[in-house]
């Protein structure tokens, strides 16, 4: 029996189908072995894995809080009321780096986090962060507690 180059043969464990063989690519074998490795880790070192998971979650939330604080601080210097053109210019300045998100995505994020709001009656954008006395003391919308 000739197999394609880079393929391995693993027998199927069903007794009735002893002759039937399943072939896996190197990438599939790597994924299977990787899954077995982490499964074994979780079974043998459960407490250490939970400690590492908790530590990494805390790091991730700290990073997000830091990003949100930076955004609020930056937004505190924007005008309180802006037209659509003005807010587009402000967002373009905010996302000037090549690896930054798209301006439309950033505007959606600012709206979702309630940092800016659109008033449909006046057709103007309201900067919520500039209305507060200290923009860094805002309650964090991403608190997990």
Tell whether 67 is covered by a domain. yes
In a domain, 22, yes or no: no
Tell me how far apart the alpha carbons of residues 125 and 84 are, in angstroms, rounded to a whole number: 7
For residues 142 and 65, the answer to whether their CB atoms sit within 8 Å is yes
- Residue 92 domain boundaries: 53-137
Q: Which pLDDT score, from 0 to 100, does residue 101 have? A: 83
CATH of the domain at 98: 1.10.10
User: Whole-angstrom Cα distance, residue 109 to residue 107?
Assistant: 5
Mean pLDDT per 10-residue segment, the chain (145 residues): 60 57 86 92 93 96 93 89 91 84 89 92 90 53 49
Whether residue 48 is contained in a domain is answered as no
Q: CA–CA distance from 69 to each of 30, 50, 56, 76, 129 (Å)?
A: 41, 28, 20, 11, 11
CA atoms within 13 A of residue 120's CA, in its CB half-sphere: 0
CB of 125 within 8 A of CB of 87? yes
Domain membership flag for residue 75: yes
The predicted structure's pLDDT at residue 7? 62
Q: Is residue 24 part of a domain?
A: no
- Beta-carbon-side half-sphere exposure of residue 81 (alpha carbons within 13 Å): 5
* Domain annotation covers residue 27: no
In the chain, the number of structural domains is: 1
Within a domain: 64: yes
The answer to the question of residue 115 being in a domain is yes
- Look up the pTM and report it: 0.56
């Amino acid at each position: 029996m000739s197999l394609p180059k880079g393929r391995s043969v693993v027998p199927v464990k069903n007794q009735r189908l002893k002759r039937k063989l399943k072939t896996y690519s190197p990438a599939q074998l790597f994924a299977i072995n990787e899954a077995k490795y982490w499964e074994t880790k979780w079974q043998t070192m459960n407490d250490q894995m939970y400690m590492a998971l908790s530590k990494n979650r805390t790091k991730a939330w700290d990073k997000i809080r830091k990003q949100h604080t930076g955004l609020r601080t930056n937004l505190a210097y924007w005008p309180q009321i802006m037209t659509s053109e003005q807010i587009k210019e402000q967002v373009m300045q905010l996302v000037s780096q090549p690896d930054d998100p798209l301006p439309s995505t950033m505007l959606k994020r600012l709206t979702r986090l309630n940092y800016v709001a659109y008033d449909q009656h006046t057709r103007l954008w309201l900067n919520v962060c500039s209305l507060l006395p200290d923009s860094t003391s805002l309650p964090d919308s991403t608190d997990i507690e």
